[in-house]
Chains A and B, each alone.
Chain A
């Protein structure tokens, strides 16, 4: 038994540890909190999954797990995250992710209210917005979550992003290159599922204006962009996959749905953007 413990301890040092401080931004209903809750809960992980474990650390992250079980798993929608009057009140979730290849990712992740992004699109000179932007600049990585079915809002997203990138440019440049992981959510929808391994293609085809802005920003060599696809609920079946979600509404804002079969709840692609934000490399195993 002692030998086992010693082995474990010595193995521990073989882990490559990477970490990142991440801000998840995105429009209202883009699925930010569902993404975070599914990530913290990580239900029905397959035994041959490349992700060995995800451990939530601290009260906030543990609350996310209970939210996933009490709300998402019971067929309810999560409530919208409120824009806190004070940036320091935004919940900071810590997760420890261990991968099969001995890589350990520790992330601190803040889930901003969707109002933040919609304010970016439509408001100017708001002090609260400035506080949020300042806080965002402290992050090492930004995850821009976009409902893949909300392509009709492409030009609004592009405008919001313009303001955001401008603020990033004006910030301290010593920080090194910033990474923005553009992540398309709700990819269990068949139209996106078929392209789940081509995030960039989804960006180019469905969000051309947003895509052009990001590519131009990348060309300026001040930051890196990569495109990902995720689904907080996943699909049912492998031969003829159908979304494991039940649509409540579908409109310009995107798709609103709840989980269809909680027992077969297996999210897709959640860790891939985090891996890239931490390491700067993509890992194909996380996108299978």
Chain B
């Protein structure tokens, strides 16, 4: 049991996890591993960026213990973050590496919640950035459809799916969005329902049909929407605050 933090390579998961562990936190704190340890593991001081995840491993996992401060006290979330290379979605790879594939499936099926980190698509990214570095909206939708199929057929019991559209600094005014969406106990501008609707309408419109399909096909599933960025603590913490409310311990 626990939470799975997942996404394709280059979605920005490593940097997100590293930043989440930054001790300057509001309501969400990574208690293990320690920030310096994660940094040494993931950050290349010379290149001033996170190290690319080891390419020879198809599935790469790392443990993360997160403490969330909620109205009734603290909750601890055990989470694993999994990097998945493109090849694991190929039937070939799954057959040839059956034990690894099964292990991956078991981990996902046993998890109480899944945080899926998605990169932005080209059309969404502001034009001062190099848009060519990002996949097109159509590619993005196609890729998401594969996730939908994966959840539908391989994880029919999934309860909480949190879609985090990452690198929000590339496509929105972070501070402005954080002011609206941020969490302040008992004084938030939006409640959770409003937050979710706002992000869903504004940033996830290309995949609305897929979301409807997902909701229809998995009974009891709750899909929620977030935008995240390593440059904004408020937005970064929201998915964890949401999850913390539901997890039992």
A residues near B, CB below 8 A?
28, 63, 66, 69-71, 73-77, 79-80, 82, 246, 248, 258
Contacts of A66 in B (CB 8 A): 72-73
Interface residues on B, range: 10 to 19
Contact of A70 among B72, B194, B219 (CB under 8 A): B72
Q: Which 3 A-B pairs have the closest CB atoms?
A: A75-B191, A80-B220, A70-B245
Residue of A whose beta carbon sits closest to that of B247: A70
Contact mask for chain B residues 59-103; partner A; CB cutoff 8 A; 1 contact, 0 none:
000000000001111000000000000000000000000000000
Interface pair B71/A70, CB less than 8 Å apart = yes
Chain B residues contacting A258 (CB-CB under 8 Å) are: 191-193
How far, in angstroms, from A77 to B192 measured CA to CA in the complex? 10
On whether the beta carbons of A74 and B192 are closer than 8 Å, the reply is yes
- With known contacts A74-B245, A246-B193, A79–B72 Cβ distance under 8 A: no
Interface flags, B173-198, vs A, CB<8A=1, else 0: 00000000000000000011110000
Cross-chain contact of A74 among B73, B191, B220 (Cβ < 8 A): B191
Most buried by A among B72, B73, B193, B194: B193
Query: What CA separation (Å) do A66 and B73 show in the bound complex?
Result: 9
Q: Mark B143-155, 1 if CB is under 8 A from A, else 0.
A: 0000000000000
The distance from the CB of B196 to the nearest CB of chain A, in whole angstroms, is: 9
8 Å CB contacts to A: which residues of B162-215?
191-194
What are 30 A-B interface contacts by the 8 Å CB criterion?
A66-B72, A66-B73, A69-B72, A70-B70, A70-B71, A70-B245, A70-B246, A71-B245, A73-B71, A74-B71, A74-B191, A74-B192, A74-B245, A75-B191, A75-B193, A75-B194, A76-B192, A76-B245, A77-B222, A79-B160, A79-B220, A79-B222, A79-B246, A80-B219, A80-B220, A82-B220, A246-B193, A248-B193, A258-B191, A258-B193
Question: What's the count of A-B pairs with C-beta under 8 Å?
Answer: 42
Contact B245 A79 (CB under 8 A): no
| B contacts, CB < 8 Å to A | 70-73, 159-160, 191-194, 219-220, 222, 242, 244-246, 248
Residue of A69, A74, A79 ringed by the most chain B CB atoms within 10 A = A74
User: A69 and B191: CB pair below 8 A?
Assistant: no
Closest to B160 in A: A79
Asked if B246 and A71 make an inter-chain contact with CB atoms under 8 angstroms apart, the answer reads yes
Identify the closest chain B residue to A78 (Cβ): B246
Closest-CB distance, B192 to chain A (whole angstroms)? 5
C-alpha gap A258/B194 in the complex (Å): 11
Q: How far is the CB of B135 from chain A (nearest CB, A)?
A: 32
Query: Whole-angstrom distance between the alpha carbons of A70 and B220 in the complex?
Result: 19
Q: A246 contacts which chain B residues (CB < 8 A)?
A: 193
Q: Are B71 and A69 in contact (CB under 8 A)?
A: yes
Please give the distance in Å from A98's CB to the nearest CB on chain B.
23
Supplied contacts A70-B244, A75-B193, A79-B220, 16 more A-B pairs, CB within 8 Å: A28-B219, A63-B248, A70-B71, A70-B245, A70-B246, A71-B246, A74-B191, A74-B192, A75-B192, A76-B192, A76-B242, A79-B160, A79-B222, A80-B219, A248-B193, A258-B191
**B222 partner residues in chain A, CB cutoff 8 A:** 77, 79
Q: How far is A71 from B248 in the complex, measured between Cα atoms in Å?
A: 12
The CA of A247 and the CA of B246, in the complex, are separated in Å by 21
Chain B proximity of A287: nearest CB distance (Å): 30
- Minimum C-beta distance from B111 to chain A (A): 14
